[in-house]
Chain A
Amino acid sequence: MIRRNGLSLFFMVAFALALAGQSFAGLGAYNDDQLGSGGTPVSWGAYVTSADFAVDVAENWQSEYLQFLLYIVVTVWLIQRGSPESKTGDIGDKVRPGSPQWARVGGLRTMLFANSLGLVMGAAFVLSWYAQSVAGTAAYNREQLSRLQDPVTWPEYVTSPDFWDRTLQNWQSEFLAVLSMVALSIYLRQRESPESKPVGAPHEETGTEA
């Protein structure tokens, strides 16, 4: 059971550990900031339920879901010669015995199922970006008030430099990582990894994963 789900379990545990680590590191930084501005340090429980923690988590989530959404959707239309992540032609639906029922029935259900990965990733991106904007408004306003400045409304916040700084600093790193993967996987190999072309595959061979 554990062996058959090793990949999911590994990332689940890594996610939990990293999130826990972020909560303690974030608490330390938050309390340093509080003491520096004449405020009061808070407990771990208060910090992990605060808007400051929520916005830091959500801004990273939205960019990761955007990265996968774009990777899933843009590769439908755009091709990169030599990349194992690029398709070579029309993939088609390839219904066969054993295919999921929603792939076989046709109509709306098959249309939804045929786009379900992109739809779910897209919904996760939109929801986490919205969560970033709401938590960001609250965290920004707490900071504004602690600096003796007026709070802002949600529409004002989503057009503010703070919101777009948080958003774009995450997006640029995701786009660079995807570009690196697309381009480097043309010429470089990782033996046994399904994300790489086979070691012996020619550089110009497109759409073959190990």
Chain B
Amino acid sequence: MGMVLPVSACAAGAGPAVEQATGRFYAAVAAGQGAAACALLTDAAARSLPEPCATSILDVGLRGGPAEEVAVWGSEAQVRLRGDTVFLHRGADGWRVRGAGCRPGGERPYDCEVSG
């Protein structure tokens, strides 16, 4: 990436780790590696997809693109990509995607193709 993105947060130091996790997730999807993409989802997000996850995650049609803005607050993060908005959660094993393929819902939560 190389460019410095705006990171809003009290845990701004977590920005690169969040971006890396996001990049690995969309790279796996773009490469058709469904199992690798599913391994980067939270358990709840993986369960929200029809079985098997490795196939259905590729059927969603996720499009990432370059990251434009990162927000990290405690154990939660949001990355705005050119083609998507993604939400991540930090668990014991690092940052995992809890919402992807998300469209803004105004005052309501984002409407996400994958969420959990």
CB A29 to nearest CB in B, in angstroms, measures 16
B8 in the interface, Cβ–Cβ < 8 Å? yes
CA distance A21 to B74 in the complex (A): 23
Task: Point out which of B44, B74, B90, B115 has the most chain A C-beta atoms below 10 A from its C-beta.
Answer: B74
Bound-state Cα–Cα, A42 to B45, Å: 20
Residue A166 CB within 8 A of the other chain = no
List the B side residues contacting A50 at CB < 8 Å.
74
- Considering residues A138, A139, A142, A147, which has the most beta carbons from chain B within 10 angstroms of its beta carbon? A142
Instruction: Report A-chain residues with C-beta under 8 Å of the C-beta of B87.
Output: 145, 148
**A34 to B, closest residue via Cβ:** B75
Cβ-based interface call for B110 (8 A): yes
Whether A141 is near chain B, meaning CB under 8 Å from some CB there, is yes
On whether the beta carbons of A40 and B91 are closer than 8 Å, the reply is yes
The answer to whether residues A38 and B110 also contact, given A145-B71, A148-B102 and a CB cut-off of 8 A, is no
Interface size classification for chain A: 20 to 34
Q: Which residues of A contact B77 (CB under 8 A)?
A: 145
Whether B71 contacts A146 by the Cβ 8 Å rule is: no
| A151 & B102 in contact (Cβ 8 Å cutoff) | no
- Whether B99 pairs with A151 at a CB distance below 8 angstroms is no
Please judge, given known A-B contacts A38-B44, A38-B116, whether A149 and B109 are in contact too, CB under 8 Å. Answer: yes
Q: Are A148 and B115 in contact (CB under 8 A)?
A: yes
- Report B-chain residues with C-beta under 8 Å of the C-beta of A149: 105, 108-110
8 A Cβ contacts from A54-84 to B = none
Interface of B is mostly: strand
Contacts of A40 in B (CB 8 A): 75, 89-92
Which residue from A39, A148, A150, A151 sits with its C-beta under 8 Å from B75?
Answer: A39
Verify A51–B74 contact, CB threshold 8 A. Answer: yes
Q: Is the beta-carbon distance between A146 and B8 smaller than 8 angstroms? A: no
Please report the C-alpha to C-alpha distance between residue A39 and residue B73 in the assembled complex, in whole angstroms: 14
Q: Answer yes or no: B42 CB below 8 A from chain A CBs.
A: yes
A146 & B10 in contact (Cβ 8 Å cutoff): no
CA distance A150 to B34 in the complex (A): 28
Known A-B contacts A142-B74, A151-B8; A39 and B102 likewise in contact (beta carbons under 8 Å): no
With A38-B42, A148-B109 known to touch, is A141 a contact of B89 (CB < 8 Å)?
no
Q: List 21 A-B contacts (CB under 8 A).
A: A38-B98, A40-B92, A42-B75, A50-B74, A51-B10, A51-B74, A138-B10, A138-B73, A138-B74, A139-B74, A141-B76, A142-B75, A145-B71, A145-B78, A146-B98, A148-B98, A148-B109, A148-B112, A148-B115, A149-B110, A150-B104
4 tightest A-B contacts by CB?
Answer: A145-B76, A38-B44, A141-B73, A40-B91
